[in-house]
Chains A and B, each alone.
Chain A
Amino acid sequence: MTQTQFAGRARKLAQQPWGLWWVQAQRLTRIELRRNLFSWKAAWIYCLAFIPTVIISIHMLVDKHPPFAMSEDTNILAGIVQLYYIRLGVFFGTLGIFSRLIRGEMIERSLHFYLLSPVRREVLLLGKFAAGSISAVFLFGSAIIADFALMYASFGAAGSDYIFHGAGMAQLEAYLLIVVLACLGYGAVFLLLSMMFRNPTPAAMLVLGWETINPVLPSLLQKISVASYLRNLMPVTVGAEGIFALLTVETEPISGWAATAGLLVLIAVVLTYSCYRIRTLEIRYSTE
């Protein structure tokens, strides 16, 4: 590309109505949040998010909590995050949230209202993705905070000391980062799958299988996985055995920032391809 061509493209890009697109994306996100986050259809996702919270509450009320048990509870919490939230809760929760954004509207035959509005399809897709991400992060982020607080609350002053003067707060931050990245990563994948397949669930099961066997795959293939990046961000190593070791083992450890950047690049690639798909999306409800 010559310098003149580059300058021409840059000028054209600057002339685009970015302000309007920003306003439209914000309003779209608001509309989507109102429709999706506060509906009865989302009740099962609330359950997925807060099942561990209920279990930890029962543990807090029923079991005794001597100070030496704190490290055991720290390991249990790490296991809950890595084995339950990342593998099941966030995975299926984001499948429910993100596959409804486009495919759900096609099944309910209401997507055309968006496609007939003066919103660029890319803005529409990104607005919906933002709404889905906010919903998922709000639900699973709140659940992680609640789990963390309840897990250490039963230890009284020792628990409080661990959170505010020990490693606790850094662990919570790491868990929240993991949940945010998991929601964005799986969300982008499921949004794309919902545009590619009439029923994205079988494809999601393949993704689940791929994520499970990923640690034993060649190095290059490990890069195409959400969970492989998230494993590297875990603040506490989970010592799983047998088949569960597949879910926790780090065969190719990388630094935290590289894992975060890698996952963000993966999300950007998936969203870019989704934008291309939505440009050519046709409304043919009779085939749904």
Chain B
Amino acid sequence: MNDRIIFEDVSKFYGEVLGVNRISLSIPPGITTLVGPNGSGKTTIMNLMTGLVQPSNGHISVLGLTPADQTELFSIVGYCTQFDFFPRGLTGWQFVLDGLMLHGMEEAMADDFASQAIERVQLGDAAGRKIAGYSKGMRQKIRLAQAIAHHPRVLVLDEPLNGLDPMARAESIALFEELGRQGMHVLISSHILDEVDRISDRVILITGGYLIAEGNIHQVRQEVHEKPMQVLIRCDRPEVLAAKMFSINHCVEARLHADGKGVFLRTADIDQFYSMLNGIAVEGLVKIDAVAPADDDANAIYQYLIGTDGSPS
């Protein structure tokens, strides 16, 4: 069994409406985030992976299994969907336990796994209550508990941070990071780009059903040649630094920081830029306090590649 989630030229049409078009992906273990505006095809990709919808074209394999291999696939996959609905009349405990019982495991083992999962999402006190009385955050947590209860190797999470308060959000992110470190595939779709930045090993940018970019955030950023990298340099004489750097032809833009103690510089050749900056620092002309990339994150990539309105820029 290979260790990758593979999409080969996958398309999905809902009648005449495009879901995703000719998507090819090879996702290794770790945390991968699907980023894109509403209706871009993120949920379609997750549903295709898990067989909830069938591809119109192409082939999908999850660790060597196809979505048609229901019994084997869902022994290793947990999917926390964004559908905020539950079977009627169940308590949180019953909901998680029912799912585990369908795996065919012994009742004592299912009890044990259910307890572990519910504790892991810190919902122990509310587990005996009916889900109908849960808050949105609690419903999100119990869905997550059900998805992780059988110790899957692939965890698919559709907008898992929606409805969570800041504390629960931090706890969930810590859990995803821990699962990613353990070598699991964690595939997350999210709109919260700051958190995407923090937790993702790689991102998949998608809009209008088309794959825009895929890979490590920094690698993807470097591939965006039409938007030169922006660097913030904190220093005592920003205007002098800006003038000096502008003498280099790959430096295309300079903007003073609002507090006057730094400058944003945009360069088409980041390696040469840092080399020049080292030279300036050694000369002692400017006292440099800090250097940090200003647009080497998911937010910037999203803005550059997709645009604020969700259309590719």
Size category of the B interface is 20 to 34
A118 near B75 with CB under 8 A, answer yes
Q: Determine if B89 is an interface residue (Cβ-Cβ < 8 Å).
A: yes
Contacts of B54 in A (CB 8 A): 280, 282
Contact A110 B70 (CB under 8 A): no
Q: How far is the CA of A114 from the CA of B74 in the complex (A)?
A: 11
A110 contacts B87, C-beta separation under 8 Å:
yes
Within the complex, what minimum Cβ distance (angstroms) separates A106 from chain B? 10
* Chain A residues touching B, range: 20 to 34
Give the interface segment out of B28-36, B101-109, B226-234, B259-267.
B101-109
Q: A108 — which chain B residues lie within 8 A by C-beta?
A: 85, 87-88
Hey, which chain B residues are within 8 Å of A28, CB to CB?
Answer: 102
Tell me if A13 counts as interface (CB < 8 A to partner B): no
Q: Residue B170 at the A interface, CB < 8 A?
A: no
Chain A residues near B77 (CB, 8 Å)?
A: 116
**A105 to B74 alpha-carbon distance, docked (Å):** 20
A282–B53 touching, CB < 8 Å: yes
User: When the two chains form their complex, are residues A20 and B71 in contact, meaning their CB atoms are under 8 A apart?
Assistant: yes
Residues in B with CB closer than 8 Å to A31 are 98, 101-102
Which residues of B in the span 32-56 have a Cβ within 8 Å of any Cβ on A? Answer: 47, 50-54
Instruction: List the B side residues contacting A110 at CB < 8 Å.
Output: 85-88
Between A and B, how many residue pairs show CB distances below 8 Å? 75
Whether A283 and B88, one on each chain, are in contact in the complex, defined by CB atoms closer than 8 angstroms, is: no
B102–A24 touching, CB < 8 Å? yes
Contact with B along A22-46 (1 / 0, CB 8 A): 0110011001000100010000000
A109 within 8 A of B: yes
Report if A198 contacts B (CB, 8 A): no
User: What distance in Å separates the Cβ of B230 from its nearest Cβ neighbour in chain A?
Assistant: 40
Chain B residues, Cβ within 8 Å of A282? 52-54
Nearest to B74 among chain A residues (CB) is: A118
A residues within 8 A CB of B102?
24, 27-28, 31, 114, 117-119
A132 CA to B25 CA, complexed, in Å: 42
A23 to B104, CA, bound (A): 6
* Residue interface bits B47-75, CB-to-A below 8 A is 1, else 0: 10011111000000000000010111111
**Is A284 an interface position by the 8 A CB rule?**
yes
Query: Which residue of A is nearest B14, CB measured?
Result: A284
Interface status of A285 (Cβ within 8 A of chain B): yes
Q: Say yes or no for A113: interface residue by CB 8 A criterion.
A: yes
Contact A112 B70 (CB under 8 A): no
Contacts of B87 in A (CB 8 A): 35, 105, 108, 110, 113
Interface of chain A residues 114 through 160 with chain B (CB within 8 A): 114-121
State whether the Cβ of A17 lies closer than 8 Å to any Cβ in chain B: yes
Please indicate which of the listed interface residues B52, B73, B86 has the most CB atoms of chain A within 10 Å of its own CB: B52
Q: Which chain B residues have a beta carbon within 8 Å of chain A's beta carbons?
A: 14, 47, 50-54, 68, 70-75, 77, 79, 81, 83, 85-89, 98-99, 101-104, 146
- Give me 20 A-to-B residue pairs in the complex whose CB atoms sit less than 8 angstroms apart, sorted by A's number: A17-B71, A24-B102, A27-B104, A39-B88, A108-B85, A108-B88, A109-B83, A110-B85, A113-B146, A115-B52, A116-B50, A116-B74, A117-B74, A117-B103, A118-B72, A119-B102, A282-B54, A283-B53, A284-B14, A285-B83
